[in-house]
Amino acid sequence: MRLRLSPGMVIDGFTLEEHLATGGMAQIWAVTRENDSTPLVMKFPMLIDSDDPLPIVCFETEQMIMPRLTGPHVPRFVATGPLEPQAYIVMERIPGVSLKARLEDVPLPWAEVVTIGAKVAHALHDLHRQHVIHLDVKPSNIMFRETGEAVLIDYGFARHEQLPDLLAEEFREPFGTTPYMAPEQVLEDRCDPRSDLFALGVMLYFFVTGERPFGTPKGGQIRRRLWQRPVPPRARNPDCPPWLQEIILRCLEVNPEDRYATAAQLALDLEHPDQVLLTERAERLERSGGVETFRRWLKARKAQPLENPNISSQLARAPILLVAIDLSPSAEDLAEAIKAMVQRILALESGARVACLNVLKTSRIAVDVLEDAEGRSLHVQRLIQLRHWGSTLDVPAERITYSVLEAPDPADALVDYARRNNVDHIVLGARASSALRRYLGSVSSQVVAQAPCSVTVVRTSKDRRMGEG
């Protein structure tokens, strides 16, 4: 540290108030600025050991990346200073403590773990959409706003795909926190956003079981994750539901292609457990046997990084596609036209996650009738119809889900679902125009006006002719 820091010192208009923490590569101080009531912190790199360039490179990386980040899932950037006379970064101070404080309470109730995981997955998806991979996801780098959003901090190991990767340029070694590092990071690949999903899987495993899936390895021990599977979570904690084990072990797959394609898809499963497709992962109670482990070891000896994926292209080839289906008998032609449109989209975006939805409209004030004349649940009947509609789509079972929403306003329900689940594209149908629709406004026009993503509205040739009349 070039300056001897102390309370009351003023640096470029910021007054040091309180020393908050000292980490391996930085000090954190609470600071104030005249005529600014925003709670702020100032981060100083640890430059005591001039023989170690890593703190400087990590600090320069964070200096480059933080000014480009926006939104509720990152600290708001305020200012930065050069290495001479004193390097620093000023950012907003997030109230409270990091998720590291919960480590003393592990294992946590699985329902709380799911809530934490979904919030972090949403934060990661927002970060990835800004062209950044964090590459050091762990409890101490996660905080929560008073409004509930997860905030990702510390971008010293991060990679921005549109900026120079200083760590990769200056060093030839893996970087990260060893218990949380993805296999590709071990192989010095810093280009895959799914590395952050592996780290989140490690965190979920630890919060559920109280144990880290790969321990705390040192040196060459970190390569063991390339071939050694972890003890299944349910073997350590029988209270862990099979669907949650399915999610965790999928995040921990060695090959990124076998994990979730995006953090948004992971969040969708965490928030809709009834939609999780269970595979043999969910039933595992033991680690792989010796023969299988040996085969995996032989394969790992030849392991090389995958062809470096582009963050944007990875997200683009794995969008979440919301398909709203009208299941009324009079809309059969429209449902087929929507199916044809979805198939065309899937031909271009083969990794898409498809969420098939139908809205069961309810009354705002009257008592709703949710059963037919024979006492059968309308909700269940609609769900069966949805599954029948989607069964002919060429989509793997783990990438298609079905939901029936009950709401008084179908357009609001669809837009809200799209916003909460990071939907990238909505496909829905529109019936022929009519005087009533022109007066009240159609569902499709409301969705187009309010949706947070792109929307494709499908009409049949018959409806188009009627609308032109």
* DSSP string across 417-451: HHHHTT--EEEEE-----HHHHHH--HHHHHHHH-
Per residue in 329-382, pLDDT (tens digit) is: 888 888 899 999 999 999 888 789 999 999 988 865 544 555 655 666 778 888
Residue scoring higher pLDDT (90 or 432): 90
Q: Do domains 101-309 and 319-468 have the same CATH topology?
A: no
C-alpha–C-alpha distance, residues 124 and 204, integer Å: 14
The 10 Å CB-count burial string (b at 16+, else e) for 200-238 is bbbbbbbbbbebbbbeebeeeebbbbbbbbbebbbebbe
The fold adopted by the segment(s) 319-468 is: Rossmann fold (3.40.50)
C-alpha–C-alpha distance, residues 91 and 70, integer Å: 12
Question: Which two tokens mark 229?
Answer: 């599977």
Give the whole-number percent of the chain exceeding pLDDT 70.
87
Give the whole-number percent of the chain exceeding pLDDT 90.
57
Question: What ranges do the domains of the chain cover?
Answer: 10-92, 101-309, 319-468
Mean of all residue pLDDT scores within the chain: 87
Query: What is the pLDDT at residue 442?
Result: 82
> Once rounded to an integer, what is the mean pLDDT over residues 192-218?
95
Tell me the residue type at 307. Answer: E
C-alpha–C-alpha distance, residues 410 and 362, integer Å: 9
Strand ranges inside 101-236, DSSP E: 132-133, 142-144, 150-152, 159-160
Total-model pTM: 0.88
Nearest-CA neighbor of 194 among 205, 186, 183? 183
Question: Which two tokens mark 444?
Answer: 């499709």
Query: What is the pLDDT at residue 375?
Result: 60
Give the pLDDT band (50/70/90) at residue 56: confident
Asked, as a colleague might, if the bond just before 193 is cis with ω within 30 of 0, I would say no
- Judged by DSSP in three states, 325 sits in coil
As assigned by CATH, the class of the 10-92 domain is: alpha beta
Per residue in 223-256, pLDDT (tens digit) is: 888 888 999 999 999 999 999 999 999 999 999 9
Q: For residue 105, how many other CB atoms are within 10 A of its CB? A: 11
According to CATH, what is the number of the domain 101-309?
1.10.510.10
Alpha helix locations (H) across 349-441?
Answer: 378-390, 410-420, 435-440
